[in-house]
Amino acid sequence: MTIKNKAYITETALLCCSGENEEQLFQNICNQNSSISTDSSYFNNTPAAIGKISSDKNFFDNLILKCEEILDKSNLETFQDTLLIVGSSVGGIAITEDIYLKNGDYKNIDPAYHNIHAIQTILETKFKFLDGVSFSTACTSSANALGYAHEVLTKGLYNNVLVLGVDQLSQTTVGGFLALGVLSSQPCKPFEINRDGMNVSEAIACLLIQTVPNKDSIEICSVGYSSDAYHMTHPHPEGLGAQSAMQNALLQAKLTTKNIDYINAHGTGTGANDSAEANAIERLFGNIPYVSSTKSITGHTLGAAGAVEAIISKLVINNQTIPTSTNLSHPENKNINLSTQNITKEVNYVLSNSFAFGGNNCSLVFGKIQ
């Protein structure tokens, strides 16, 4: 298929535990200022270190406010000519939990506000979109949403796409990851030899993707997909699926490994993910590009992670600054180039990884406009 247009991230808006906006988040990442904290309220009084948004507003009211913010910043008057692509792993499950746990039955649950589509349903009370679709591939949901935005824009099918990565903390996710035994009771330590798990977190990340750039835009150069076809929750230990996704992204962008200046790793802090991902990066890139995970600051925002980390990738390129790794003093894999301080250097291309349950892998390459 002929590439008809390029895809540019023109505007962003964000809310997560470590920032009310993009600049605040990047400052906190560079200053190693984590807002991950211990909370026992989410599952049977069991303490877990989680990343909760600090706000006096309802989560979905904040979502509408962030969409209004991105519309105000943009060159659009409405979203009527914009395709909405949502990435979420849980959709409206927290709404369902509230009703079910209060009433003990399903009677007052509105299916329209239960499923993944709930996010679009809520937004359509305020905005009109050209069309909409939601991706739900667990922790790659919004990375895949960005990949699809790249696909429909470069194929010349749309001119404006609003990608939202949205996941709210819920008892289901906190209790579920506790059941899998992968939650840490302290801020996570991605790629550290004695890491002990991940931090579940929540976020709203909005990206307007258009075919015409503005002065601060970066390009979504490519997307690479793969499936592990190995296990529902464990990545292939050698990171074969991760490697394949990164290779596919490089191939589509017509870049080599030497072109990548920084890899924003999936880096959850779990034993299985980080060793598999480090193996894949080592095999493909050696120790050339800088690597870090920003989840020790943001936590793992699950379905929103790809969108959050796309915004971080844009900030890395706009600021020409590679962020340091937080909570990393003894890396397990010494053959990859994990950043140990903030580094100001020329950054032309960033690769961002997202991996998920079911062995679903997505790598995105972002580039400075040349």
CB of 195 within 8 A of CB of 188? yes
From CA 296, how far away is CA 199, in angstroms rounded?
A: 8
Q: How many CA atoms lie within 13 A of 356 on its CB side?
A: 28
The amino acid occupying position 232 is M
The active-site residue out of 114, 117, 150, 300 is: 300
Rank residues 241 and 323 by Cβ distance to other proteins and give the closer one. Answer: 241
Catalytic residue among 16, 17, 30, 139: 139
List the beta bridge partners of residue 290: 262, 337
Instruction: Please list every residue from 316 through 335 that binds other proteins, using CB under 8 A.
Output: none
Q: Is 362 a catalytic residue?
A: no
Site string for other proteins, 158-197 (x = CB under 8 A): -------------xx--xxxxxxx----------------
Rg (the chain; Cα; Å): 19
C-beta separation of 81 from 160 below 8 A: yes
Contact between 364 and 209 under an 8 Å Cβ cutoff? The reply is no
**Least distance to other proteins from the beta carbon of 219, Å?**
20
Is the Cβ of residue 280 or residue 315 nearer to other proteins in the bound state? Answer: 280
Cα(45)–Cα(39) distance, rounded to whole angstroms? Answer: 8
- Closest to other proteins by CB, 29 vs 276, is 276
Alpha carbon distances (Å) from 49 to 53, 129, 165, 168, 269: 13, 37, 21, 15, 12
Binding string, 217-256, against other proteins, x = CB under 8 A?
Answer: --------xxxxxxxxx-------x--x------------
Residues carrying an active site annotation:
139, 266, 300
Interface contacts to other proteins, rule CB under 8 A: 1, 43-44, 89, 91, 93, 96-97, 100-101, 104-107, 109, 111-112, 114-117, 120-121, 132-138, 144, 148, 151-152, 155, 157, 171-172, 175-181, 225-233, 241, 244, 356-360
